Amino acid sequence: MKCPRCRSTHIHKNGKQRGKQNYICVKCSRQFIDFYEPKGYSQEIKRECLEMYVNGSGFRTIERVKKVHHTTVINWVKELGNTLPDTPEQDEIPEITQIDELETFIGKKKQNLVVDSSE
Ligand SMILES: [Zn+2]
Protein backbone atom coordinates (compact mmCIF):
# COMPACT_ATOMS: atom_id res chain seq x y z
CA MET A 1 0.00 0.00 0.00
CA LYS A 2 1.44 3.34 -1.08
CA CYS A 3 0.18 6.87 -1.13
CA PRO A 4 -1.05 7.71 -4.64
CA ARG A 5 0.37 11.21 -4.33
CA CYS A 6 3.81 10.92 -2.72
CA ARG A 7 4.44 7.14 -2.88
CA SER A 8 5.05 7.00 0.84
CA THR A 9 4.31 3.67 2.46
CA HIS A 10 3.63 5.41 5.75
CA ILE A 11 -0.13 4.94 5.60
CA HIS A 12 -2.65 4.83 8.40
CA LYS A 13 -6.15 3.45 8.30
CA ASN A 14 -8.72 6.21 8.46
CA GLY A 15 -12.08 4.54 8.97
CA LYS A 16 -14.38 3.28 6.26
CA GLN A 17 -16.32 5.02 3.56
CA ARG A 18 -19.23 3.28 1.85
CA GLY A 19 -17.88 -0.05 3.04
CA LYS A 20 -14.40 0.57 1.65
CA GLN A 21 -11.33 1.03 3.74
CA ASN A 22 -10.22 4.63 3.84
CA TYR A 23 -6.56 5.54 4.35
CA ILE A 24 -4.60 8.62 5.14
CA CYS A 25 -0.98 9.30 4.23
CA VAL A 26 1.01 10.35 7.26
CA LYS A 27 3.52 12.19 5.12
CA CYS A 28 1.32 14.37 2.91
CA SER A 29 -2.11 13.91 4.58
CA ARG A 30 -3.64 12.69 1.34
CA GLN A 31 -6.75 10.61 2.01
CA PHE A 32 -7.67 7.83 -0.31
CA ILE A 33 -9.81 4.73 -0.59
CA ASP A 34 -8.18 1.33 -0.90
CA PHE A 35 -7.43 1.62 -4.60
CA TYR A 36 -5.52 -1.63 -4.86
CA GLU A 37 -8.36 -3.73 -6.19
CA PRO A 38 -7.47 -7.44 -6.27
CA LYS A 39 -7.96 -7.58 -10.01
CA GLY A 40 -6.23 -4.39 -11.00
CA TYR A 41 -3.49 -1.92 -10.41
CA SER A 42 -3.44 1.84 -10.53
CA GLN A 43 -2.46 3.56 -13.75
CA GLU A 44 0.60 4.80 -11.93
CA ILE A 45 1.88 1.33 -11.11
CA LYS A 46 1.15 0.25 -14.64
CA ARG A 47 3.10 3.12 -16.10
CA GLU A 48 6.04 2.51 -13.81
CA CYS A 49 6.16 -1.14 -14.82
CA LEU A 50 6.00 -0.22 -18.48
CA GLU A 51 8.74 2.34 -18.03
CA MET A 52 10.91 -0.30 -16.40
CA TYR A 53 10.25 -2.60 -19.33
CA VAL A 54 11.07 0.10 -21.86
CA ASN A 55 14.27 0.82 -19.98
CA GLY A 56 15.36 -2.77 -20.35
CA SER A 57 14.17 -4.48 -17.18
CA GLY A 58 13.06 -8.08 -17.47
CA PHE A 59 9.57 -9.14 -16.46
CA ARG A 60 10.90 -11.06 -13.46
CA THR A 61 12.80 -7.99 -12.32
CA ILE A 62 9.69 -5.87 -12.63
CA GLU A 63 7.75 -8.49 -10.71
CA ARG A 64 10.29 -8.45 -7.89
CA VAL A 65 10.52 -4.67 -7.72
CA LYS A 66 6.92 -3.66 -8.31
CA LYS A 67 5.19 -6.72 -6.86
CA VAL A 68 3.19 -7.07 -10.04
CA HIS A 69 2.92 -10.55 -11.51
CA HIS A 70 5.01 -10.83 -14.68
CA THR A 71 2.09 -12.05 -16.78
CA THR A 72 0.21 -8.89 -15.81
CA VAL A 73 3.16 -6.83 -16.99
CA ILE A 74 3.35 -8.83 -20.21
CA ASN A 75 -0.32 -8.10 -20.81
CA TRP A 76 0.30 -4.41 -20.26
CA VAL A 77 3.22 -4.44 -22.67
CA LYS A 78 1.06 -6.13 -25.30
CA GLU A 79 -1.65 -3.60 -24.63
CA LEU A 80 0.91 -0.85 -25.00
CA GLY A 81 1.91 -2.23 -28.35
CA ASN A 82 -1.68 -1.96 -29.49
CA THR A 83 -2.67 1.39 -28.09
CA LEU A 84 0.47 3.30 -27.10
CA PRO A 85 -0.99 5.26 -24.20
CA ASP A 86 0.45 8.54 -23.06
CA THR A 87 3.77 7.74 -21.46
CA PRO A 88 6.39 10.43 -21.04
CA GLU A 89 8.93 8.49 -23.10
CA GLN A 90 6.63 7.50 -25.88
CA ASP A 91 9.15 8.41 -28.57
CA GLU A 92 11.62 5.91 -27.19
CA ILE A 93 9.28 2.95 -27.31
CA PRO A 94 10.22 0.69 -30.17
CA GLU A 95 7.11 -0.47 -31.96
CA ILE A 96 6.69 -3.60 -34.08
CA THR A 97 10.08 -5.23 -33.52
CA GLN A 98 9.73 -4.98 -29.76
CA ILE A 99 6.37 -6.72 -29.80
CA ASP A 100 7.77 -9.47 -32.05
CA GLU A 101 10.57 -10.02 -29.61
CA LEU A 102 8.10 -10.01 -26.78
CA GLU A 103 5.96 -12.67 -28.40
CA THR A 104 9.01 -14.82 -29.02
CA PHE A 105 9.90 -14.39 -25.39
CA ILE A 106 6.41 -15.32 -24.24
CA GLY A 107 6.40 -18.34 -26.55
CA LYS A 108 9.62 -19.65 -25.03
CA LYS A 109 8.30 -19.07 -21.55
CA LYS A 110 5.15 -21.00 -22.31
CA GLN A 111 7.17 -23.92 -23.66
CA ASN A 112 9.30 -23.91 -20.55
CA LEU A 113 6.22 -23.91 -18.38
CA VAL A 114 4.77 -26.93 -20.20
CA VAL A 115 8.03 -28.83 -19.81
CA ASP A 116 8.28 -27.88 -16.15
CA SER A 117 4.81 -29.06 -15.30
CA SER A 118 5.05 -32.38 -17.15
CA GLU A 119 8.22 -33.48 -15.43
ZN1 LIG B 1 1.40 10.91 0.67
User: How far, in Å, from the CA of 5 to the mean position of ligand 1?
Assistant: 5
Q: b/e per residue, 17-42, with b = 16+ CB within 10 A?
A: eeeeeebbbeeeeeebeeeeeeeebe
Share of the chain above pLDDT 90, in %: 31
Q: What is the mean pLDDT of residues 96-114?
A: 61
pLDDT digit string, tens, across residues 13-42? 998 877 788 899 999 999 988 655 445 688
Distance 17 CA to ligand 1 centre (A): 19
Rounded mean pLDDT, 61-82: 88
For the chain, the structural domain boundaries read 1-35, 43-118
More confident residue, 90 or 9: 9
Q: What is the pTM of this model?
A: 0.38
Check whether 105 has a pLDDT greater than 80: no
Find, among 100, 60, 53, the residue nearest to 76 by Cα. Answer: 53
pLDDT digits (tens, 9 = 90+) for 79-92: 777 655 455 554 55
Cα 22 to middle of ligand 1, angstroms: 14
pLDDT level of residue 10 (50, 70, 90 thresholds): very high
How far is ligand 1, taken at its centre, from the CA of residue 89, in Å? 25
pLDDT value of position 114: 52
Instruction: Compute the mean pLDDT over every residue in the chain, rounded to the nearest whole number.
Output: 76
Residue 23 Cα, ligand 1 centroid: separation in angstroms? 10
